[in-house]
Structure 1
Amino acid sequence: MTLTSLIRLTPLLILPTLAQADLASDIYDIAAAHQDAQGVPGMIVGVWQGDSAITTFARGVGNLDTSAPITTSDHTRIGSVTKSFTVTRLLQLVDNGQVSLDDPISKYLPTIENGSATLRQLANMTSGIYNYTADGAFVNELFNDLTREWAPQELVDVADRNGANFAPGAQWQYSNTNTVALGMVIEQVTGNTLAHEINTNVLAPLGLDNTLYPVTVDIPDPFSRGYGVFDSEVGYEDITTSSPSSSAGSGAMVADMEDLRIWAEALAYGTLLSPEIQAERLQMIDLSGGGDGPEYDAYGLGIGEIDGFLGHTGDYLGYQALALYDKDTDQTVVILTNLLSGEHIPTDIFRDIAPLLIPEPAHYALMFGGVLLGALVWRRRGR
Structure 2
Amino acid sequence: MSLLVAVALTGALTACDAAEAEESGRDSAVSTSATSSGAAVSSDAAASPRARLAELAQQVVDAGAPGTIVRVDDGSGKPVEITRQAPWTKADHALTASDKFRMGSNTKTMVATVVLQLVADNKLKLSDPVDAWLPGMIPGGSEITVRMLLNHTSGLFNYLFDPDVFQAFIGQDTKVWTPEEQVAAGVRHEAMFAPGTDYAYSNTNYAALGLIAEKATGQPLEDLVQRQIAGPLQLKNTYLVTGAGNAADKSTNPALAPGYEPDAARLVGLLPPGVPAGTAFSGPAKPEGHVETTWINPSTTGAAGGAVSTAREWATVTGALMSGKLLPPALMKEMRTTRAEEAEFPNRRYGLGLEEVATPCGTVWGHNGEVPGYSSENYTDAAGRRTVSVYTTTIFGIASPKPRAAQQALMNAAVCAMLGKPVPATPAPAPTGS
Question: Structures share a fold, TM > 0.5?
Answer: yes
Report how many aligned residue pairs link the two structures.
340
Q: 1:97 to 1:296 in 2, by over 3 A?
A: farther
Which residue of structure 2 aligns with residue 380 of structure 1?
A: none
Q: What is the identity, as a one-letter code, of the residue corresponding to 1:125? A: H
CA distance in structure 1 between the partners assigned to 2:326 and 2:320 by the alignment: 7
Do residues 101 (structure 1) and 152 (structure 2) align?
no
Do residues 338 (structure 1) and 393 (structure 2) align?
yes
RMSD: 2.8
Q: 1:175 aligns with which of 177, 202, 217?
A: 202
Deviations 1:271-322 (CA, angstroms, capped at 9, x unpaired): 21111111111111134xx43x658611110011223111111111211111
Do residues 245 (structure 1) and 289 (structure 2) align?
no
Q: What is the identity, as a one-letter code, of the residue corresponding to 1:100? A: K
Do residues 305 (structure 1) and 356 (structure 2) align?
yes
Q: Is the 8 A contact 2:323 2:383 kept in 1?
A: no
Q: Is the 8 A contact 2:380 2:387 kept in 1?
A: yes
Q: Is the 8 A contact 2:340 2:346 kept in 1?
A: no
Which residue of structure 2 aligns with residue 190 of structure 1?
A: 217
Deviations 1:33-89 (CA, angstroms, capped at 9, x unpaired): 23322x111111001111623521111159837253211111111111111111110
Which residue of structure 1 aligns with residue 163 of structure 2?
A: 136
Do residues 354 (structure 1) and 415 (structure 2) align?
yes
CA distance in structure 1 between the partners assigned to 2:133 and 2:374 by the alignment: 32
Please, which moves more after superposition, 237-246 or 300-309? 237-246
* TM-score with structure 2 setting the length: 0.72
CA distance in structure 2 between the partners assigned to 1:68 and 1:232 by the alignment: 25
Q: Percent identity?
A: 30
> Quick check: which one's helix share is greater?
1
Deviations 1:169-200 (CA, angstroms, capped at 9, x unpaired): 21111111111110000111111110011111
User: Structure 1, unaligned stretches of length 5 or more?
Assistant: 1-18, 364-383
Q: 1:31 aligns with which of 46, 57, 62?
A: 57
Q: What is the identity, as a one-letter code, of the residue corresponding to 1:309? A: V
- Aligned residue for 1:205, secondary structure, equals coil
CA distance in structure 2 between the partners assigned to 1:171 and 1:332 by the alignment: 31
Q: 1:31 to 1:114 in 2, by over 3 A?
A: farther
Which residue of structure 1 aligns with residue 261 of structure 2?
A: 228
Q: 1:236 to 1:260 in 2, by over 3 A?
A: same
Q: 1:213 to 1:334 in 2, by over 3 A?
A: same
Q: Is the 8 A contact 2:160 2:300 kept in 1?
A: no
Do residues 211 (structure 1) and 202 (structure 2) align?
no
Which residue of structure 2 aligns with residue 149 of structure 1?
A: 176
Q: Is the 8 A contact 2:177 2:299 kept in 1?
A: yes
Q: What is the identity, as a one-letter code, of the residue corresponding to 1:305? A: E
Q: 1:96 to 1:20 in 2, by over 3 A?
A: farther
Q: 1:354 to 1:142 in 2, by over 3 A?
A: closer
- Aligned residue for 1:80, secondary structure, equals coil
* TM-score with structure 1 setting the length: 0.81
CA distance in structure 1 between the partners assigned to 2:366 and 2:313 by the alignment: 13
CA distance in structure 1 between the partners assigned to 2:151 and 2:408 by the alignment: 20
Which residue of structure 2 aligns with residue 162 of structure 1?
A: 189
Q: 2:314 aligns with which of 243, 260, 284?
A: 260
Q: 1:146 to 1:269 in 2, by over 3 A?
A: farther
CA distance in structure 2 between the partners assigned to 1:182 and 1:262 by the alignment: 23
Q: Is the 8 A contact 1:59 1:69 kept in 2?
A: no
Q: Is the 8 A contact 2:319 2:384 kept in 1?
A: no
CA distance in structure 2 between the partners assigned to 1:224 and 1:295 by the alignment: 32
Do residues 82 (structure 1) and 130 (structure 2) align?
no
Q: Shift of the alpha carbon at 1:354?
A: 3.4
Do residues 112 (structure 1) and 143 (structure 2) align?
no
Q: 1:134 to 1:352 in 2, by over 3 A?
A: farther
Q: Shift of the alpha carbon at 1:248?
A: 1.1
Q: Which structure ranks higher in relative contact order (CA pairs < 8 Å, sequence separation ≥ 6)?
A: 2
CA distance in structure 2 between the partners assigned to 1:268 and 1:172 by the alignment: 24
